[in-house]
Chain A
Amino acid sequence: DAGVIQSPRHEVTEMGQEVTLRCKPISGHDYLFWYRQTMMRGLELLIYFNNNVPIDDSGMPEDRFSAKMPNASFSTLKIQPSEPRDSAVYFCASSFRGGDYGYTFGSGTRLTVV
């Protein structure tokens, strides 16, 4: 298995633009998580899905952020409009049966909003 695949690896965009981050989880994993990592706040859980259904989105910072999982093999995190304070590394992770064997992380997307 290729692991969790995220794209793009780096994204630089101008303030106000729409940004879409993509994730392909490991086949057979039924949980998918979106995290944001910054030096100031560390790792923050934004939202997670179980069997493609959003379970908890209380970590989504505000309405500018949205996430979808249209099928078991694809998820997106969208920021519209983007702001400089959204600059961070965004990770997608997937797990089987809730994560008692751990999460598998993608390599992350470094987002820079200028």
Chain B
Amino acid sequence: AQTVTQSQPEMSVQEAETVTLSCTYDTSENNYYLFWYKQPPSRQMILVIRQEAYKQQNATENRFSVNFQKAAKSFSLKISDSQLGDTAMYFCAYLDSNYQLIWGAGTKLIIKP
């Protein structure tokens, strides 16, 4: 069965700094999709970024980018120029062949002014 592991329960950085959140996963599949979701205090789950496993190129969305290492089964999220509004829980997720998302436990990110 697929598993997703986020090893950092909580992180905090100063505003404008760069922060990297870690995620590893386990799967025997070759084609799959990975996601990062953000859950701010408002509790809305927001899709941040998406990666297709068969694409070598790392996904980028404005200040958010990933470092996808397929062989290592690693999918880290980098947030550049962090802002106060980035304070949230961040979840890494894997889409399995039954179209179900397998979730990591989450990393609580605090951006300090």
**Chain A interface (Cβ within 8 Å of chain B)?**
31, 42-43, 45, 48, 56, 89, 91, 93, 95, 98-105, 107-108, 110
Contact = CB atoms under 8 A, between A and B. Distances in A.
A100 B29 CA distance: 15
Contact of A99 (B46, B91, B101, B106): B101
B108 to A, nearest CB: 12
Contacts of B99: 31, 48, 95, 98-99
B50 A45 contact: no
Interface string B36-49: 00000011111100
A48 B96 CA distance: 14
Contacts, number: 43
A43 B49 CA distance: 19
Nearest to B98: A56
A40 B46 CA distance: 21
Given A48-B100, A99-B99, A100-B95, A42 B44 contact: no
A93 B45 contact: yes
Contacts of A104: 47
B95 A105 contact: no
Contacts of A108: 43-45
B45 A42 contact: no
